[in-house]
Amino acid sequence: MNTRKKNIFYYYKWILNHYKEFKGYAVMLFLFTILSTAVTSLYPLVFKSILDRIVEFFNNKDLINVNSLNQLKYNITGILLLFALGMIIANLYPYYRGKLNLKFEMLLRNIYFKKLLQKQHPFFMKFRTGDVTTRITTDIKSHPPGIPWFMCSGFFRAFNSLCIVIFCVAIMFSLDYKLTLISIIPVPFVVGVFFILEKKIRAIFSETRKRVSITNDFLESAFSGIKIVKSFSAELFQKEKFKKVLEERFDIEVEAVKIMGLFHVFFTVIIHIAQVAVLFYGGIKVINGDITVGTYFAFYTYLGMIIFPLIDIPQFFVTGSQAFTVIDRLDEIDDYMYDIEDESTKVELEDKIQNIVFENVSFKFENKDYNSKEPFSLKNISFKINGGEKIAIIGRIGSGKTTLLNVFSGIYIHDKGKILINNIPVENISRNSYLKKIGYIQQEPLIFSESIWSNIDFWRNISEEIIIRNSKMSQLHEEIDKLDKKYEEKLGQKGIGLSGGQRQRLSIARALSGYPDIILMDDITSALDAENEKMFWQQLEKEHKDITCIIVTHRMSTALMADKIIVLNNGKIEAFGKHNELIKKSPIYKELYSEN
Amino acid sequence: MKKSLLYRLFPYFKEEKLSFFYSIITVLFVTVFQLGRPYFMRKIIDNAIVGGNRDIIFFYSGMFLLFLILGAITSYIQVLITSKLGIRVVNSVKNRVFSHIMTLGMSFFDKNQSGKLMSRVESDVEQLKVIFTNSAIMLFSSVIVLIGILCIITYEQPYLGAIIFLSLPFIFVVFYYYLTLLRKIWINVRKKNSEISGYIAEYVRGIPLIQLFLAQDKVYNKLEEYSQKKFNLENKAMFYDNFVFWSFFSFFSESASMILILWYGINGIYNGTMTVGTLIMFGELMRQFFWPMRNLMMVVNQINVSLGACERIFDVLDTKTDVKDIDFNYEKIQLKDKILFDNISFKYENDYILKDFSLEIKKGEQIAVIGPSGSGKTTLINLLLRFYDCNNGDIYIDNVNIKNISILGLREKIALVLQEVNLFPGTIMENLKAFNDEIKDERVIQAAIELGSIEFIEKLEKGFYTELSEDGKNLSMGERQLISFTRAFVRNPDILILDEATSSIDTITEKYIQQALFKLIKDRTSIIIAHRLSTIENSDRIIVMENGNIVEAGNHSKLIKNNGLYSKLYNIQKTKPLKENN
């Protein structure tokens, strides 16, 4: 999937792209950098000049009196206060850097969440929830080596350090150029070593991030499936497995530390060797009278001042490597091109749905590599449904019932064949207009940790009257009324607080509240027992006249009530028709019917 | 409070005593080598250059180089030891937190989302790494350097040293106040952080559904809100940090103190009590003092932030389970006679689900429990498995109160099959064993044959050793049910509990399972909660529940004759539908 050419410039471009929104801010930080450099670099000179004044003052014994003494004190205080002002402003620099870090963090997280919201089903088959969540939460943090940190602080600190180094080296040059040259010799060495190590560093960090994802996946399953874990007394085994997961991370994490440590140490040694050389060579020069002690001392001070900034610069590249792996992981989200297509060329589905036609529709799962014998889950499905009809779908396990519903709902996109809605090919219909007309009640309904009302309404701002009406019809209302907070009762994750049946009924209320043209139901036997189901169909007729129903069911009473029945077997339609026809034609149907 | 948290972390270091010791030794060496260098520098400048002695330059340059290389080696060793130590301690804490969470009762999981728990175990503990690695070292060496410099200052200028010592308490008080203030804010920041992670984790799961409802924008807006709140909090923290505290500190340490010293010094020179040279040295020493002081404060600040994470970790570790286990009474229980629910009452939050409920189940009986939702069927099972404890009344197995049996012993003999199938990362084989390695492969294969799940498992390329994708998404709903079922069979329980599991399986395969079930139910007590009356028909006894009580009980034919709730439900199932389609 990845067709990009990635070198260092690619990543810098990626970063610069996000700076477009923050141009003014960047300029401000740039100015701050200059100020900070000036303040840091000039401090020794300021201090030195003050001392010089004092020495000079006390050397002119004749001019010493109380007045001139006070004058001296005020002058010095003035200079220092002015400088202090500069320093205080320079101290604001980290604050503004940090603020931009935060802004980048917020920006990236929001952008990528938005992108995820547009992804289609195959994307979520490939990327696990825990993994995806890690990519847009843990990976995006405003502390090193997170990408937002790198984009601002990482860069500006390095830039600041670079400025200081350049500034100080310039001063050093003016003091003695030969000494300066000696102290710069190590730099090309360091740069060379770094570029050799860079790829390895990047590989190690990428692996580290992967391991974190694996850990999160494990934890997610362990916690969501806690009931099974407990009932099977598998707590101990889970603990053992977790230990192993962490142990497998250990080695790679140590590798990461090793390589960083090695680089750091190597660098420090080289720089300090330069210091020794200067010490040595410079000392000799002083003794020979080539330079003054004052110059030597100043030179030495400046050399000391550039050490930390010099370390910052390669650190920037190392952190960069780590940050680039995060960019890679975010790119993977972009590259897996399963986004909802552009709607502007599509037709709006305005009329009620009159008919749906499937013509030789086939579907297979992406990445279905575990069963190469039979890749297609649905094969050559053909039928026609008219608006207002009740269609039952029955079949054995794995025959493709849920898959068929998913294709109906647009969650899955068919691979072969045609689907026509109101005689318009589904590819030409605006997805949104289609989705508005369908309601889907899944086998395992997705409920969020919100209030019951929010779960039913699902951000559609449906009127209270409508929701309560449909809630009553789904036989949910009475039970909710018994709760303390009624509809405002907040549910736990995955709808904890409601029984399985209640959750499905909520899902029914949710779907029906939108007054769809078609309702898709994937086995509601756990929601409603036979008696309640009968009542439900009666009320549905009254309340949602002419609604088309497509129901996956195992209850023969439901199938009998349907206008037509689809019998699925191994992804194919074995029979399609009314009850009486199927009794004669379909062996599978006969078997199912006689059971009841 | 800070103290007690660090105190609680200490035991984790105790486990790594040796490494910790080596770590400290190496840090000492590193510090010595680090401090040695400026010392040699001074020697060269003071003695050699001024004195014009080449040999001394050679000697001290050589010493400098030696210390440099030794320092580099020990530094590398120190980094290795300390990071390994840090990772091991962090892993130790992670294991501890995870283990502890695993022991907590179901009510804990009802209240805490899995996303929140994930961040406790993984990202909150990772924060601690900062304390254990770089920060600890910097802290240590900064303290040493600081003490060293204070000694030097006091030795050379006792008066100045005294002033510094006297001002230290003041500095610490201000600093402590600042730390406390900031810690509160950082704790809130982390809270917001896990709120966001939790929100994202939850909603990412439901994206296809969100798309169905065209709710993408609304879901996104909510995240924007959360993000903004976090931003505001962190911004505030940084504001206090940089704008307020460090600016003030900077001013005080670099400018104010310098001004004071210069005034003092100038007056002193004027009065003849001080020389220029001394003044210069004063100034130099002050700078040398404030630099490590600043480092020390920054490190303590970092640690402070990490301690915010620490509190949340200990919050979890301090939570006790509400279901008390008797450890020492572990004996393999065997159901010999009966299970008795004796006048039990239970409520989750406010309303009683079960009130004065009693039921006796004899060994070998197949009991079907039916009734509308909320009638208490699932609760019954939760209590039998001791996911929760009854508020009133007791449950007995063979006249032994289950509260007096160890939980492990109790659950070993019960197998649970739920409607919502939970599968875990791993192979099918591992899942079927529920990760119990002591179970042999043959037993698993035999169970799969008896149940019929072997059919679809063998169709898969890797068969039993197929890795399940998250939550078993690469299998169909029915196939996952079969695995869940087989898992229960492998366990070979005395008591089998099926919670609404049979309603998702088609009639044909259901019959297949019924036959296998019948084979295995021999000598096995089972409790089935279902809506499918065809399953229930064959039970020994049917319990009809409503509103937390038994309204009818008996076998199928008896209940039909009763003409009560059961016969009503049954008749609806069997009756011809409304619309006769001919």
b/e code B453-465 from CB counts within 10 Å (16+ = b): bbbbbeebeeebe
Q: How confident is the model at residue A216 (pLDDT cuts 50, 70, 90)?
A: confident
Q: How confident is the prediction for chain B on average, in pLDDT?
A: 79
Structure confidence at residue B577 as a pLDDT band (50, 70, 90): very low
At B515, the pLDDT band (50, 70, 90 cuts) reads low
The pLDDT tens digits for A84-132 are 888 888 878 889 999 999 999 999 999 999 999 988 877 877 777 777 8
Burial class from Cβ neighbours inside 10 Å (0-12, 13-18, 19+) for residue A27 reads: exposed
Q: Tell me which of A188-192, A491-495, B26-30, B422-426 is least confident.
A: A491-495
Shortest CB distance from A448 goes to which of B65, B206, B349?
Answer: B206
Query: Measured between alpha carbons, how far is A425 from A404 in angstroms, rounded to an integer?
Result: 17
Give Cα B133 to chain centroid, integer Å: 21
CB contact under 8 A, A265 and B575: no
Query: Is B231 in contact with A280 (Cβ distance < 8 A)?
Result: no
pLDDT, position A263: 77
The enclosing domain of B118 has a CATH number of: 1.20.1560.10
Q: Is A217 on the interface with B (CB under 8 A)?
A: yes
Of A124, A449, A557, the CB nearest to B207: A124
- Among A residues 149-178, those touching chain B with beta carbons less than 8 Å apart: none
What is the extent of the structural domain holding B147? 2-317
Specify the higher pLDDT residue, A171 or A6.
A171
Q: β-strands B352-362, B338-347: how paired?
A: antiparallel
Strands B549-554 and B392-397: unpaired
- Which positions in chain A touch B411 (Cβ < 8 Å)? 230-233
Confidence band, pLDDT 50/70/90 cuts, at residue A368: very low
**B508 lies in a domain?**
no
A565-579, B44-58, B158-172: range with highest mean pLDDT: A565-579
Min Cα separation A7/chain B (Å):
31
Residues 6+ apart with CB under 8 A from B145: B31, B35, B292
Residue A369 has what pLDDT? 44
CA distance B344 to B353: 10
Question: Are the C-beta atoms of A296 and A175 separated by less than 8 Å?
Answer: no
Query: Phi/psi of residue A572, each to 5°?
Result: -115, 155
Handedness of CA B346, B351, B353, B357 (dihedral sign): positive
Residue B249 domain flag: yes
Q: Sort out which chain B residues have CB atoms less than 8 A from A91's CB and list them.
A: 242, 246-247, 250
Q: Which of B63-72, B199-208, B565-574 has the lowest mean pLDDT?
A: B565-574
In this prediction the pTM is 0.74
d(CA A403, CA A390): 19
Q: Which fold has domain A93-335?
A: ABC transporter transmembrane region fold (1.20.1560)
Percent of chain A with pLDDT over 90: 21
Distance from C-alpha of A173 to C-alpha of A166, rounded to nearest angstrom: 10
**ipTM of the complex, rounded to two decimals:** 0.79
Pairing mode of beta strands B549-554, B541-546? antiparallel
A542 Cβ under 8 Å from any chain B Cβ: no
Alpha helices, DSSP H, located in A336-457: 401-409, 431-435, 452-457
- The stretch B100-127 carries a mean pLDDT of 84
Nearest to B44 among A212, A283, A365 (CB): A283
The answer, for B557 touching chain A at a CB cutoff of 8 Å, is: no
Residue type, B186: W
Does some domain include residue B382?
no
Per residue in A168-180, pLDDT (tens digit) is 888 888 878 888 8
Of the candidates B37, B251, B577, the beta carbon closest to that of A557 is on B577
Task: Tell me whether residues A238 and B435 touch, CB distance under 8 A.
Answer: yes
Return the residue matching tokens 């529940």.
B545
What are the backbone angles phi and psi of residue A562, rounded to the nearest 5°?
-75, 160
3-state SS class at A441: strand
Distances in Å between the Cα of A198 and the Cα atoms of A151, A261, B455, B555 are: 18, 14, 51, 75
Helix, strand, coil share of chain B (percent; to 5): 70, 10, 20
State the CB neighbour count (10 A cutoff) for residue A359.
Answer: 15
Please provide residue B341's backbone torsions phi and psi, each rounded to the nearest 5 degrees. -100, 115
Say how many C-beta atoms besides its own lie within 10 A of residue B564's C-beta: 14
Minimal Cβ distance to B114: which of A94, A220, A243: A220
How much is the average pLDDT of B343-365?
85
Cβ atoms of B243 and A92 closer than 8 Å: yes
> Any chain A CB within 8 A of the CB of B332?
no
Check residues B344 and B257 and name the one with the higher pLDDT: B344
Residue B475: inside a domain, yes or no?
no
pLDDT in tens, A221-271: 888 888 888 888 888 889 999 999 999 999 898 888 888 778 778 877 887
Chain B positions touching A500 (Cβ under 8 A) are 373, 378, 419-420, 500
Of A340, A370, A394, the CB nearest to B460: A370
Pairwise CB contact (< 8 Å): B579 & A595? no
Chain A's closest residue to B64, CA to CA, is A276
Sign of CA dihedral A442, A447, A453, A454: negative
Pairwise CA distance, residues B268 & B271, whole Å: 5
CB proximity A137 to B under 8 Å: yes
pLDDT surpassing 50 at residue A507: yes
Dump pLDDT digits (tens) for B555-564: 888 887 887 7
* Size (chain B), residues: 582
What average pLDDT is seen over chain A? 83
B49 touching chain A per CB within 8 A: yes
The rounded distance, in Å, linking the Cα atoms of B300 and A294 is 38
Round to whole Å and give the CA distance between B491 and B415: 7
Chain B hits for A558, CB-CB cut-off 8 Å, are 577
**Which residue does chain A place closest to B249, by CA atoms?**
A88
CA distance B210 to B206: 6
Cβ neighbours of B242 in A, within 8 Å: 91-92, 94-95, 98
Output the pLDDT for position A508.
92
B465, pLDDT greater than 80: yes
Beta-sheet pairing, A416-421 with A424-425: antiparallel
Report CB contact under 8 Å: A530, B569: yes
Phi-psi region of A250 (alpha: psi -120 to 50; beta: other; left: phi over 0): alpha
Burial of A81 (0-12, 13-18, 19+ CB in 10 A): middle
**What integer pLDDT is reported at residue B132 of this predicted model?**
67
By the 8 A CB rule, do B434 and A234 touch? yes
Residue extents of the structural domains in chain A? 93-335, 355-595
Contact A280 B577 (CB under 8 A): no
Q: Which residues of B touch A261 (CB under 8 A)?
A: 75-76, 79-80, 83
Tokens describing residue B59? 């000697």
Which residues does residue B543 pair with via DSSP β-bridges, in sequence order?
Answer: B369, B553
Q: Name the residue with higher pLDDT: A94 or A293.
A: A94
Give the pLDDT mean for A474-484: 85
Do the Cβ atoms of A519 and A441 come closer than 8 Å? yes
Length of chain A: 596
8 A C-beta contact, residue A444 and residue B420: yes
> Is there a domain that residue B353 lies in?
no
What's the pLDDT tens digit per position in B295-325?
788 788 777 777 777 788 888 888 888 887 7
Of residues B75, B262, B423, nearest to A265 (C-beta): B75
Q: Which residues of A touch B68 (CB under 8 A)?
A: 269, 272-273, 276
Is B206 within 8 Å of chain A by CB?
yes
**% residues pLDDT > 70 (chain A):** 93
Give the pLDDT band of residue B509 (cuts 50, 70, 90).
low
- Tokens read off for B526: 């089972």
Q: Looking at the domain assignment, is residue B81 inside a domain?
A: yes
Q: How close A350 gets to chain B, by Cα (Å)?
A: 17
Query: Closest residue of B to A495, CA-based?
Result: B110
Binding-face residues of B in 382-441 toward A, CB within 8 A: 385, 387, 407-408, 411-412, 414-416, 418-420, 422-425, 434-437
For residue A448, pLDDT over 70 is answered with yes
- Number of domains into which chain B is organized: 1
Residue B580 confidence (pLDDT): 32
A525 touches B: beta carbon within 8 Å: yes
> Alpha carbon of A112 to those of A263, A552, B230: distances in Å?
34, 36, 17
Beta carbons within 8 Å of B250's beta carbon, 6+ residues apart: A87, A88, A91
Top-level CATH class of A355-595? Answer: alpha beta
Domain-located, residue B251: yes
Query: What is the rounded CA–CA span in Å between residue A433 and residue A170?
Result: 67
Closest residue on chain B to A560 (Cα): B577
CB A192 within 8 A of CB A314: no
The beta-carbon neighbor of A402 closest among B210, B408, B476 is B476
Rounded to whole angstroms, the Cα distance separating B453 from B32 reads 69
Nearest to B276 among A55, A137, A563 (CB): A55
CB-based contact B534 A595, cutoff 8 Å? yes
Q: What percent of chain B is modeled with pLDDT above 70? A: 84
pLDDT over 90 at A592, yes or no: no
Of residues B183 and B138, more confidently modeled: B183
pLDDT the model gives residue A523:
78
Count of helix runs (H) and strand runs (E) in chain B: 24, 12
**Residues of chain A neighbouring B273 (CB-CB closer than 8 A):** none
Distance from the Cα of B236 to chain A's closest Cα (Å) equals 10
Residue among B204, B230, B261, B474 with most chain A CBs within 10 A, to mutate: B204
Q: How many CB pairs under 8 A join A and B?
A: 465
Question: Which amino acid type is present at position B177?
Answer: Y
Q: CB B214 to CB A435 under 8 A?
A: yes
Helix H or strand E encompassing B185: helix B158-205
Closest CA to B282 of B421, B462, B156, B459: B156
Q: Which chain B residues touch A410 with a CB distance below 8 Å?
A: 212
Give the pLDDT of residue A511. Answer: 92
Q: Is B170 a domain residue?
A: yes
Q: Using CB atoms and an 8 Å cut-off, which of residues 479-518 of chain B contact chain A?
A: 479, 481-482, 487, 491, 500, 503-511
Angstrom distance (rounded) from CA A280 to CA B476? 77
pLDDT at B243 over 60: yes
Alpha helix stretches (DSSP H) within A60-185 = 66-117, 121-126, 129-136, 147-149, 155-175, 177-184
- What pLDDT does B52 receive? 64
Q: How far apart are CA A285 and CA A263, in angstroms?
A: 33
CA A121 from chain center: how many Å? 17
Closest CA to B118 of B188, B194, B186: B194
Instruction: State how far the Cα of B478 lies from the Cα of B443, in Å rounded to an integer.
Output: 22
> Considering only CB atoms, which chain B residues are within 8 Å of A435?
211-214
